Amino acid sequence: MGDLLRATTRSRVLALFVLSAVCAACERFLPPSASIPRGVLAQAVCHPSDSAAPTSIALVVLAYNRVPALSAALDSVARCATCADAFDAVFVSIDGGSTKVASILRRVGSGGRHAALVSGTWVCERGSVRVGTEATSSARAASSPVNADARTNIARHYACALDRVFARGFQYAVLLEDDMVVGSDFGALFASTRHLLRNAEKYSVLCVSAWNDNGMRHLVHPSVRHALFRTSFFPGLGWMLSRDLWLSELSEKWPDGVHANASTGWDHWLRLPAQMQGRDCIAPVVPRARNMGNTGANVRKQEFDAVLATLAFVDELDDELRDNRDACESAAVWVPDSKLEYLEPRQYMRHIQQEIDSATRIGSLVQLSELRTCRTLQNASMVDLASGTLSGRCTPTAETISSSPRSFLYIYKRERFVEDVADPLGIFPQPRSIYKGVQVIFFSEAPHITLYLADARVCPFLRPEEQLHPSPQAQLFAARRGESCDAACASIRKNCSASELEFANTCEQLERFFDCPSGCGLETGPDLPAAVEADAVELATRGQCLVTYGGYPDGRALTCSGSFRHTRRLCACV
């Protein structure tokens, strides 16, 4: 590793590492018992780790044409207090379609600003999809058009970068785009969790990510700094995968325009059930990376300002912990593997089930807002379970209510997620950071409160009477090409049900009715879920079955009236 990165090791003991062992002075941030903590807080210990320092992890920074952003990303890696010990090498992978290739090479090449940090550089030419596997790249390149849409080019760059880094023998790769900066314990996160990927079958894990889509500043606090959770929604944005997963599975079906297409991006493709296969990713509650770019192939400035700009960042949160750092200088760097056993699927499921079972049900997030902002209540019961309304009364002069952990459960319908959940909480308009239909939410101003959000249709932890199931009267029906569900259902003397459409919005249901020769994909549009006809040659999605996050265009309810001349809708008729 370069001298610049090595120089940071002298300061690494001053940081509070993610999931690292901590000393007695830090114990106020830890749970009081040795059981799985509330809110899946990591258990930290005050003795040296029983794991060897990690090896064979490479960090790959993917660059296009944002030279200042790349410099900021590499500067953050150089400052990262744990990256020197975590990563054996730092590579920069350059998209060959960039007009700034020469500028980037000057920055990272011999004598450049980042020469001491960067171990190697390569350029991924757009005319070759898989340049990293020399034995097969020429055959694949012959069938790969040079000109492609931005999302396909990004997917090809990822494939090239992964081929290149794993061809060099590394067992794990952490991928970071050039508009990201990393926190002080970014490296420790991956070093401490690589064994989960090494034992991927036991832990049912596809990746480890530094990102939490729900990690807004108002939804985190110091006591969850060390928290990790499982999510079936691929986070991306600074993530690690194993060489075995790439070579044995993902490489041969990656959406590079030859093996598959992903019209909304490789990350959306990776979130589909065919890729996740029941596995999850591991992510921290407090993000260990920050997105600095407010525009991109999948990012609009309006969305960035509304959501991405509000996300927390671990180094900012550490300002609140600075007083404890000197006392923690002797803390071990790596976490014992045994301390992450709560992430094992069966243990984790048991914990979530217990939390859901014991949580207080609330009828709306407006009630929870009152609880969070009201520090005192006359009535300790706080919520009337029968009516779902507050039974206590705000009394600013009364004694402060107990700060003991309190868990609340709000059950939602997906088509009401924007109005009932996303807008009140200030989060993405689609359910993200979700595990089996459950999202876990914390609050900066109410550290003792944990909120569980549960999708009534897909969450298996709910009581039977709380779950929504397809109506026995509903009939799934394949519409004709270009036909709306209103018209299709009318043709069999039934009515389309937008609510029942939610149960049709899966790849599995679509594949029951259509061939889907090009697989299943994720898209947006008023005509979804649907199958795209194979003769729609002008569409990148031709031959695909398409599902959606939710309604068009803003994530609300699916529609019965939508149609498109190249698709056949899957309808729910009652």
Amino acid, res. 97: G
Q: Are 276 and 205 in contact (CB under 8 A)?
A: no
Q: Which amino acid is at 407?
A: S
How far, CA to CA in Å, does 90 sit from each of 15, 79, 175?
A: 21, 14, 10
List beta partners, residue 439: 453
Our measurement of the distance from residue 548's CA atom to the centroid of its chain's CA atoms, rounded to an integer in Å, reads 17
Residue 448, judged by CB atoms within 10 A of its CB (0-12, 13-18, 19+), counts as: middle
CA angle 188, 316, 431 (to 5 degrees): 80
Rg (CA), the chain: 25
Cα 281 to Cα 285: distance, rounded to the nearest angstrom: 13
319 is catalytic: no
Residue showing tokens 């550089």: 121
The tokens 């044995």 sit on which residue? 248
Determine which one of 267, 318, 455, 486 is catalytic: 267
From residue 215, alpha-carbon distances to 107, 289, 308, 321, 555 in Å are 33, 11, 10, 18, 20
Residues for the chain: how many in total? 574
Q: What are phi and psi of 351, to 5 degrees?
A: -65, -50
Q: Using the 8-state DSSP alphabet, how is residue 47 labeled?
A: S
Backbone angles phi, psi at 177, to 5 degrees: -80, 160
- From residue 170, alpha-carbon distances to 178, 252, 396 in Å are 21, 19, 59
Structure tokens at 541: 């999605």
Q: Compute the CA torsion angle 509, 514, 518, 520 (nearest 10 deg).
A: -20
- What crossing angle do the helices spanning 67-79 and 101-108 adopt, rounded to 10°? 20
Which residues, at least 6 apart from 134, have a Cβ–Cβ distance to it below 8 Å?
Answer: none
Q: What is the largest CA-CA distance in the chain?
A: 76
C-alpha distances in Å from residue 464, one per residue of 348, 357, 407: 21, 12, 20
Cα distance between residue 349 and residue 346, in whole Å: 5
What contacts 24+ positions apart, CB below 8 Å, involve 508-516? 508/273, 509/476, 509/570, 510/545, 510/546, 510/547, 510/570, 511/545, 512/476, 513/476, 513/478, 513/570, 514/478, 514/545, 514/568, 514/570, 516/543, 516/544, 516/545
Dihedral sign of CA atoms 159, 163, 165, 169 in order = positive
Point out the residues that are catalytic.
Answer: 267
